[in-house]
Amino acid sequence: MKKLITFVLCFLLIWPSFGQRVEDFTLTDVLSGQAFSLTDHAESKAVVLVFTSLNCPFSKLYEDRIAQMHADFGADGFVFTMINPHLGLEEGENVEAAKARANEKKFVFPILDDKSQVVTRQFGITKLPEVVVITPSPTGWAVAYRGAIDNNPQVAANANMKYLENALAAIQNRRNPSPTSTRPVGCNVKSR
């Protein structure tokens, strides 16, 4: 009985930080003009939301890594998308520039316009880039991992803690990611 009580108390202490429920949202993909919502991806293993911007140097450093992870996991039921809360906020942050960057980097996933910052605020995003991995279930969507992509923005080859890649591999193998969150490093999200 004592072990059961200890287990329940431990579970209740960690439960609120893992599996945060996610409300559906709809944003426009600047590349296709189509609406993107979570309900359209209920059959996916996970949806990877990469909060980013065109001007942030940290975001630029991670673009090739995100494209590679999409190549590695996309065919296995993982949906990738970038969300830009800075579109229209400053020079160089516009739809034309986003299309040019996607063409240059050969992105084949949506870039979502969150100029209203509704989704950015929904997830409490403060740094760019920051990722949120959400998984579907019969009862809705839940956060499986949020935080940094890895532990070395400057040199991909020197990253020895590949947080996002490890989280996706865990989900692929039907396990919970560990850790479930890390502290992102990057540019501050600019408020409107």
Q: At what angle do helices 57-73 and 163-172 cross, to 10 degrees?
A: 20
pLDDT, tens digit, 9 for 90 and up, residues 50-60 = 999 999 999 99
pLDDT, tens digit, 9 for 90 and up, residues 157-184 = 999 999 999 999 999 999 999 999 999 9
Please report where in the chains the tokens 């950015």 appear, as a residue. 120
Res 14: pLDDT: 33
pLDDT, tens digit, 9 for 90 and up, residues 90-117 = 899 999 999 999 999 999 999 999 999 9
The separation between CA 13 and the C-alpha centre of its own chain, rounded to angstroms, equals: 25
Whole-angstrom Cα distance, residue 125 to residue 130? 7
pLDDT, tens digit, 9 for 90 and up, residues 7-44 = 333 333 333 334 678 999 999 999 999 999 999 999 99
